[in-house]
Each structure stands twice: as structure tokens, then as C-alpha cells.
Structure 1
Amino acid sequence: MNKYFGSAYQFGTLGGILSVIAFGILAWMEPDPTNLNLIFGYVITPISIFLALKFFKDYSNNGFISFAEGMSVGFVTYCLIAIISGLGIWIILLSFPELFEEIKSSKLEVLGSSKDTIISQVGEDSYQSTLKNVQSMVPFDIGLNDAIWKIIPGLFFTIIISIILRKNPN
């Protein structure tokens, strides 16, 4: 099993740790680091997946990788990124409750300033539901949201990278 997932463990862990570090740095620079951290995730996730698949292909599988192997290694990689990043962000927000309150107030401010636009696009009920959800938000919600937004693009990038790197023995 280590043959298949050794590189996934390494690059998934590295990607998750880099994502948590990026959140910490962005929190120091911005009042609401969540949006910029999502963008960072769109960069680090495909890089981590590519490196995990490339290292698996070149160093563990004699230069070959099937689509199924690519999907398996990629799945483990982006899930590790998501788990480590989500847990790390959750722990940071539990450790620094004032940061969480800043993020929450920033999201409420954006909702308030965009109220008319949001209501015209999705209706009053959707706006009120979103407002209620943001008001009842807890630190775990932010960590979970970050993890989900690592998994969804991770699947997409894994499919593409697995197809590009695929090379089966003849």
C-alpha cells in the first residue's frame, strides 16, 4: 500500500501544512483571510496532486501510471490537504477567537452592503436564510468550508492530471 500512497502522503501533508501556514499569514495581513486562502488552495492543490502523481509514476511505478492509479493517489492527496487544512484552520480559529469574530463580522458586513443585489438575484427568503446562517456560524464551519473547497477542485484537477500523466505499459 505504501507503494501507491507514499507520495500522496508526502505531498498531501505538505499541501495541507502550506495551506494552514498561508491562512495564518493571510490572517495577519487581512481581516478576513478566508477568500484569499481559497485562492491559495486553488494553486497549492493542483501542484500537490501533480507532484504526488509524478513522483508515484517516476519513482514507485517504473514510469507508468494508469488512470485508476492516478485517481487513487490524487484522491488521497487532496483528501489529506483538505483534512489538514480544515483542522488547522479550525484550531487557529479556536485559539484566536478575536480572529473568528473579525471574519464573522466581515462576512456580515458584506451581506449587509450587498443586501439589495442579493435579494434581487435570489430573493428575500434566501437572503434571510444566509444571514441567519452567517450569524450562527462557528469556527468549525469555516474549517469545514475550507476543506470542502479543497476536495471539489481536487477531484477536478486529479481527473485532468491523471489523464495527462497516464502511461500504461504496452
Structure 2
Amino acid sequence: MNRSPLLKISVRYGLVAGVLTFILLVALYYIGRHPLMIAPYLDFRILLYGIFIFFSLKEIRDYYQNGELYFWQGMIGGGIVVLLADSISSVGLTAFGSFEKDFIASYVKLMSQYLNTFSKEDIERIGKEVFERNLNQLPTTNISVLAMTYFVQGLAIGFFVSIILSVIVRRQPKN
């Protein structure tokens, strides 16, 4: 069976990235830095996904396509890497959150403390109703909600990283 190198390589890199992402989640939690309290723009997945997308696209371009890679191929390859990595890490997060009972409790505590540091101006900017609704819903947070939020954030991060790297790594044939 002859599979497309774009699919085969992207799946391989996505699987490894997903397992590594999950390991980093667990490690961050146990070293005392709750992984879900990290701002999305400082998230380790930006760098991790960037590395795995870059090397998967570079391998596809250099070893299977004679130095050529179109933007759309980069987006598909990057999308596969991100979707797999994000799915694996979110499923792992769900399992870990179910196993480690203090995971959700520590998140609720830390997020409550964080929200209580907001100034009146910040609350007005967000909207008092939205702020109060989020604060009141915090105790009912469960691992499914956290995993889904983590998954969606990862897709957003991965989408932008894929765009950037697809532009950087692409090479079209010279006519």
C-alpha cells in the first residue's frame, strides 16, 4: 500500500508531538506550574508545534518532493500534525485529570485567585456580567470543559504556526 508521504510523515510527527505535549503537561503540573494557567501567547505548544511542523514539512519537501513544497501542502501537513498532537494531548489531559483528583481543584483555586486580582477597570472592560458569570461557573468546572478549552486553544495556536511555517518552508518549482 503506497501512502502519501505528506500524510505518513505528518502523522508520525503529530503522534510524537502529541505524546511529548502530554508529557510536558504532566511535568509542568508536578513541578508546581499548572499547565492550564499559562497564557496562550506564552504556551509551550507554540514552540513545540513549530519545531514538529517545521521538521515534518522540511522532510517532506527535501526527501520526497525534490525540494518543492506548496503552501497548501504545508497547511495540510501542519494541520495534520497539530490535529493529531492536540487530540492526543487533550485525551491524555482528560485521562490525567480524571486520575489526578487535585488537578481540577488546583485549577479552580488558582483561577479564582487570578480573577480576584482584576481591577475595576479590567472588570468593566470585560463586562461585569461576563466576569461574574465566569467566576460563578468556576466551581462547576470539570475535566471535559478544560480539555475542550485546551484543544481549541491548541488548534488556534497550531493554525497560526502552520501558516507561518508553510510560508517559510514552501518552495515552488522555477518555471
TM over 0.5: yes
Shift of 1:168: 2.0
Instruction: Look up the match of 2:162.
Output: 158
User: CA–CA distance in 1 between the matches of 2:114 and 2:69?
Assistant: 46
SS at match of 1:76: helix
Give the Cα separation in 2 of the matches to 1:40 and 1:49: 14
What CA deviation, in whole Å up to 9, does each residue of 1:99-128 have, x standing for no partner? 221111111221223263542322321111
Percent identity among equivalent residues?
21
Matching residue's letter, 1:23: L
Quote the residue 2:105 is aligned against: 101
TM-score under structure 1 length normalisation: 0.90
The correspondence for 1:112, drawn from 94, 112, 116, is 116
SS in 2 for 1:51: helix
Q: Which residue of 2 aligns with 1:20?
A: 22
**C-alpha displacement at 1:139, in angstroms?**
0.6
How far 1:14 moved relative to its partner?
1.2
Q: CA 1:26–1:116 in 2, change beyond 3 Å: closer, same or farther?
A: same
Higher share in helix: 1
Structure 1: runs of 5 or more not aligned: none
* Matched AA of 2:123: I
Distance 1:46 1:148, change over 3 A: same
Q: How does 1:64-83 map to 2 (within 5 A)?
A: 64-83=68-87
Residue 33 of structure 1 corresponds to 35
TM-score of the superposed pair, with normalisation by structure 2: 0.88
Measure the CA separation in 2 of the matches of 1:165 and 1:50: 7
SS of match in other structure, 1:52: helix
Any conservation in 2 of the 1:19–1:37 contact (CA below 8 Å)? no
Structure 2 gap ranges (5+): none
Task: Provide the aligned C-alpha RMSD in A.
Answer: 1.8
Runs of 4+ aligned structure 1 residues displaced above 4 Å come to: none
